Amino acid sequence: MTDVAHSWGIFDATKLILEIPLRDGLEHIVVAQRLGLEGSSLSTARYVWKAAVMLCNFFSHCMTSEDGADHPIKAVEVGAGTGICAVALARCLGGSCEVVATDLAMALPLLRDSVARNMLEVSVSCQELDWEQPQGSPTLMEARLVFGSDLLDLQCGLPLLFKLMRTACQNGAMVVLAYEHRISKREIHAALTDGLSSTDGNIPWVELRNGCWNDSGIALDPVDDNLSIYIMGDLAAHVSTEGPLGRLSKLVQKCMAFPEACQNASRSKGA
């Protein structure tokens, strides 16, 4: 069984080109890094981070080409950086979805480089996304799944990130963020609760701690307790942190294909 610790340990993160295993090593994706840019505005976007590897493992164990096959979906990665998560999701879902990787304009060359290295296996488009104007992005407004990794450390950009997540969730999308905790969970949880609240109501969220994911459920790995996946949107009210991932996969598919059904189910449950 491939977990994030295994995936992280079998390659040298200082290399320019990295090969990331998926589905217990049966498949791989290739991404590029840019080294020697310390202090630049690309200092975070240029690297593959551990939380991104965790999200790739998560996708590879709970998403398949059957998810969304009858109802093709659009998935958008925000702050994509190297594009590793967008490429991984596209590989897992095959042709049943449209994956768009977004970032600042200055980060797009590296993003396109990684996508090009996997062109034979995946189809991912790369676009600039302005977090200050999420409502003006047709790409974001059409998304059923919005995802990203290690974005909650962007202190100066957190208000914009929360605005983007609220917009996506209110439009019927589910948001999935992977994060390696560098500050206390209490601070992150408080920031999420505050950032996802508005005059229109509070957006529910749930934390899934890192583990060795398989079809039977989540086996928590105490070694990597600093890694978490946060699920936001009406779907979060239905997610059990101890439940089987098979159930989660079905809920993900339902939310992405029929967002109105999930919203209604969530309201009915809380009634």
Helix 245-257, helix 259-270: angle, nearest 10: 120
The rounded Cα 194 to chain-centroid distance in angstroms is 21
Task: Confirm if 137 and 130 have CB atoms less than 8 A apart.
Answer: yes
What total number of domains does the chain contain?
Answer: 1
Strand (E) or helix (H) holding 208: strand 205-209
Strand (E) or helix (H) holding 33: none
Cβ atoms within 10 Å of 28's Cβ, excluding its own:
14
Sign of the Cα pseudo-torsion (191, 44, 8, 243, in order) = positive
pLDDT band at residue 155 under the 50/70/90 scheme: low
pLDDT tens track for 114-145:
888 887 666 789 999 888 877 777 788 888 88
Helix 50-62, helix 84-93: angle, nearest 10: 10
pLDDT tens track for 208-259:
776 555 444 444 444 567 888 888 887 676 665 444 444 455 555 555 555 4
- From residue 253, give the alpha-carbon distance in Å to each of 77, 150, 261: 17, 24, 11
Say what the pLDDT of residue 121 is: 62
Position 103 pLDDT exceeds 70:
yes
Say what the pLDDT of residue 250 is: 59
The more confidently predicted of residues 1 and 76 is 76
Tell me 150's DSSP state.
S
DSSP per-residue string spanning 69-128: SSS-EEEEESS-TT-HHHHHHHHHHGGGEEEEEEE-GGGHHHHHHHHHTTTTT--EEEEE
pLDDT tens track for 41-86:
444 556 777 888 888 888 877 776 665 555 667 899 999 988 889 9
What domain range is 88 assigned to?
A: 4-270
pTM for this entry: 0.78
Token pair, residue 143, equals 């998304």
pLDDT tens track for 5-51:
444 444 455 555 666 666 656 577 777 666 554 444 444 556 777 88
Task: Confirm if 72 and 63 have CB atoms less than 8 A apart.
Answer: no
pLDDT band at residue 2 under the 50/70/90 scheme: very low
Q: 139: domain CATH number?
A: 3.40.50.150
Beta bridge partners of 169: none
Position 199 pLDDT exceeds 90:
no
Average confidence (pLDDT) over 162-170: 90
Say what the pLDDT of residue 41 is: 45
